[in-house]
Structure formats: C-alpha cells, structure tokens
Amino acid sequence: MALLTKLGNLPYPQPTDAADVPLHIQSLAEAVDGRTVLRFADVATRDTKVTAPVAGMLVWLANPGRYFHYTGTQWHPIAPGAGHKANTSTGTTTSTAYTETLTGSTGDLAAVTFTAPPSGSVLVSVGARISGSAAVACLMSANIRTGTTLTLAAADVRAAIVSGTNQCSASTQFQVGGLTVGAVCTATAAHKSAATTNTATFTNRFVTVTPLT
C-alpha cells in the first residue's frame, strides 16, 4: 500500500507493493497534476477542465495572459496591478447631468475594466485638464458598473472640480467597496457643467483603478 509524503501528500510505493510501475507512475502523476501551474487557453477551457478547484490552485490563461489562483470561492488574478485608461483628446459638454460622452472627443471612453479583488474594494482616481467658458464649476467623476449594472453613480462629492475660464489640472480619488469578489467591473469617466450656460472643456482625461487588500 502506497504511503504519502509528509508535506505534499504525494503517493510513493512500498517494497511490498505489487511491481506495477505504470500504476505507481499514474498515481504520482495524478497527485502532482493539481499542484502544478495549470495552463489553459481561456476561462471557458479552464472551467471545463477544472470542475472542482481547491484553494491554492494556480493556473495560467493564455487569454488574457495572466496567472490566477483559486481563493476557495473564486478564481482571482495574482497580485492584480492598477488599471489605467487615458484619453488625450479634447471634449466639451453643457450638460448639468453627468455624461460619459463629450462633444468633439475622439477615441475610446476613459474607462477601466477590472476584476473586483478579494477585498471587494478598489481606489478610483480620475482627473483631467479642465476649464469653463464662464466662472462656473466644471466637474469630473466616474460611474462604477458591475457587468452592465450601475452600482455607484458619478457624484459631486466624488468629483474633480474646476471653476473659471483658466485651464487647470485637477484630480480626485475615492474608495469603492462592497464589490462582488471576482466580478468584472468598469469605472468610466463622467463629466458635467454646473450650468447649461457654461461650456465645460476636458482634455487629457484619465481613470485609474487600484485594487485594495
């Protein structure tokens, strides 16, 4: 009867065991299989192959090209770094409600897609060079979504604010908690003017999302 190693619980045969080398190698290979860095093409392939993951499992996914570990409840990226998205074009708005699109702006939205970390909390930073056509506040915040559901709307208390016609660089940070661990989320820049008579101008906009432990 095979015994198990003290640390990894890997099986090894005893002198009294039947001399079945293929069987012994198979037993060892199966025991080692779930302890190595598993490699798969994508999430779907991983989930098809690993139907009963255990805490501590480590996998590499070619798409998106990252390592993930199993926490016991979720697959999560190893040491996820901050996500950053910038848009250097200039856009304007006279909307007094937060809008994600700006007149004249080109390229993608200033939006960061991220996976909610095990803590369920991230730090969101937004900023831009901002100016107005009048001495009226121009504000930039961010909408937070889990999937397509808006979970935290842009708000003045979470906004970078510039008042006046001089172009100024402004930024702000705010913490977002209570996110569903492992969920795919987005943080998208949102902008507004404090009055429809004021044209708010934004350029060099950015959004950065930093996972918190």
Q: What number is the average pLDDT over the span 95-110?
A: 94
Residue 46 structural domain: 3-77
* Sequence-ordered strand ranges (E) for the chain: 3-4, 11-12, 37-40, 58-61, 66-70, 75-77, 83-87, 91-93, 111-115, 122-132, 137-146, 149-152, 160-163, 168-176, 184-193, 200-211
Torsion of CA 189, 204, 156, 182, to 10 degrees: 30
Asked whether the predicted pLDDT for residue 101 surpasses 70, the reply is yes
For the chain, percent of residues with pLDDT exceeding 70: 90
Mean pLDDT, the chain, rounded, equals 89
**Pair 21, 93 in one domain:** no
The Cα 96–Cα 118 span in angstroms is 36
**Pair 159, 131 in one domain:** yes
**Pair 52, 110 in one domain:** no
Instruction: Give 130's strand partners.
Output: 168, 202
Q: What number is the average pLDDT over the span 203-212?
A: 96
The closest of 54, 5, 14 to 34, measured between CA atoms, is 54
Of 62-66, 111-115, 117-121, 183-187, the least confident: 62-66
pLDDT of residue 73: 86
The Cα 142–Cα 71 span in angstroms is 29
**Pair 62, 127 in one domain:** no
Helix H or strand E segment including 32: helix 21-33
pLDDT of residue 19: 78
pLDDT of residue 34: 63
The closest of 192, 211, 193 to 112, measured between CA atoms, is 211
| Among candidate residues 12, 43, 77, the one where a domain is terminated | 77
Q: What number is the average pLDDT over the span 145-171?
A: 97
Helix H or strand E segment including 45: helix 43-49
**Pair 90, 9 in one domain:** no
pLDDT of residue 148: 94
**Pair 147, 189 in one domain:** yes
pLDDT of residue 187: 98
Asked whether the predicted pLDDT for residue 35 surpasses 60, the reply is yes
Of 24-28, 56-60, 137-141, 201-205, the least confident: 24-28
Q: How confident is the model at residue 15 (pLDDT cuts 50, 70, 90)?
A: confident
**Pair 90, 175 in one domain:** yes
pTM for this prediction: 0.71
**Pair 87, 68 in one domain:** no
How many folded domains does the chain comprise?
2
**Pair 96, 133 in one domain:** yes
| Among candidate residues 46, 77, 108, the one where a domain is terminated | 77
**Pair 89, 161 in one domain:** yes
Q: How confident is the model at residue 28 (pLDDT cuts 50, 70, 90)?
A: low
Residue 106 sits in a domain of what CATH number?
A: 2.60.120.760
